[in-house]
Amino acid sequence: MTSLGYAKRDGLRRREERRYGLIFLTALSFFMVLFSLYGAQASVFEKARESVLDTFAPVLSVVGAPVRWTEARVGDVQDYFRIKAENERLREENAELRTWMHEALTLRSQLAYYETILDTHLPAPAAYVDAAVIGENGGPYQQALILSAGRDDGVRKGSAVVDDEGLLGRIVTAGRGASRVLLLTDYESRTPVFVEGVGAEALLAGRAGGLPVLQFFAEPPADPIEVGTRVVTSGAGGLLPRGIPVGAVAARPDGTLGVALYADLGKADLVRVVDYAFPQEVEEPAAETTISASEVASLGG
């Protein structure tokens, strides 16, 4: 009888302990949310994110393999059914690209000529690191991708990430073998851009859902901005190179100006990380020759 009473009491005590533990951990997690208001970017968290990314990147690759295989097979079947239309589209695109190729070759020779006569040396073009998309944030608010390339491959924090159409976002976490891209649509994303035609610089601010919005540094340009105007990176801040295509100006439902992105964020599977470094070494102009006393006197009149 006594032992039964002890057992019951022991069971109740353990149950109570579990309940208190649950309440304590729930309170702790809410406290961590509040702490994240000020310390989300603390280096200890950043290190933890990198470690988790490196640890789980191989797992994500393996778990995602069947999904990628299925997607590829479904794509093959879809391609088979629209092969005629696709061929026609590719022929037209090829003809258009040939025109652009000739124009690019002409411009390249002109540029080389100007470089020679002006004795100017443009910075070397940016290099690229190819990477596969092995993961993405499946949550409703944080919009990011996980890539299969990291620091060991030359990926650096802040680098731009592009697909074959345009800018996708920038690297926010670079682990050894994997990295995370914050997409342009994420609420935390801010990208300096340049609106061609009107020559206005602005920030492209992500919105959780819907088009990212244009926020002008100063007064919006006096000339009206046409919908469809091309938007490229401005290079302000030195993190991203200037001129990466971003998208076209589009009207948002609330009346503000947004940007319809060229890159297809929902379908990106192979991307390129732009290995760009802002040119730091600027050649100093040759030292001026000293002016003699007689020249100073003659200048003084």
Partner 1 sequence: MGELNQSEASPWALIAPALVLLAAILLLSVPLRLFQGVVPTPILPLAVVFLYGLYDPRSLPAPVVFAGGLLHDLLYGGPIGPWASVYLLGLVLISGQRTYFAGRVRDVVWAGFWVVLLVSMIVLWAEMSLLTGAWLPILPAAGQFAVTGLLYPLCAYAFFALRARAGVREEWQV
Binding site for partner 1 (CB under 8 A): 18-19, 21-23, 25-26, 28-37, 40, 45, 48-49, 52-53, 56, 59-60, 63-64, 67, 71, 133-142, 144-146, 172-173, 180, 182, 187-188, 208-210, 266-267, 269
Neighbours of 45 (CB within 10 A): 14
Q: Residue 188: which residues within 8 A CB-CB, separation 6 or more? A: 182, 206
Closest contact distance (angstroms) between CB of 202 and partner 1 is 19
Closest contact distance (angstroms) between CB of 173 and partner 1 is 5
Closest contact distance (angstroms) between CB of 248 and partner 1 is 21
Choose between 185 and 229: whose C-beta lies nearer to partner 1: 185
Closest contact distance (angstroms) between CB of 67 and partner 1 is 6
Choose between 180 and 234: whose C-beta lies nearer to partner 1: 180
Closest contact distance (angstroms) between CB of 1 and partner 1 is 23
Residue of 243, 180, 252, 181 whose CA lies nearest to 215? 252
Choose between 93 and 269: whose C-beta lies nearer to partner 1: 269
For tokens 């976002």, what's the residue? 169
Q: How far apart are CA 192 and CA 216, in angstroms?
A: 10
Pairing of β 160-162 and β 270-275: antiparallel
Residue of 199, 289, 278 whose CA lies nearest to 236? 278
Kindly state the DSSP code that residue 220 receives in the 8-state scheme.
P
Closest contact distance (angstroms) between CB of 182 and partner 1 is 8
Choose between 26 and 110: whose C-beta lies nearer to partner 1: 26
Choose between 163 and 234: whose C-beta lies nearer to partner 1: 163
Choose between 29 and 289: whose C-beta lies nearer to partner 1: 29
Choose between 14 and 91: whose C-beta lies nearer to partner 1: 14
Rg value, the chain, Cα: 28
Helix, strand, coil percentages, rounded to 5, for the chain = 40, 25, 35
Say if residues 54 and 152 touch (Cβ distance below 8 Å): no
- Distance from CA of residue 177 to its chain's centroid? 18
Closest contact distance (angstroms) between CB of 275 and partner 1 is 21
Kindly state the DSSP code that residue 240 receives in the 8-state scheme.
S
Q: Sign of torsion, CA 182 183 189 194? A: positive
Amino acid at 170: R
Choose between 52 and 97: whose C-beta lies nearer to partner 1: 52
Closest contact distance (angstroms) between CB of 274 and partner 1 is 20
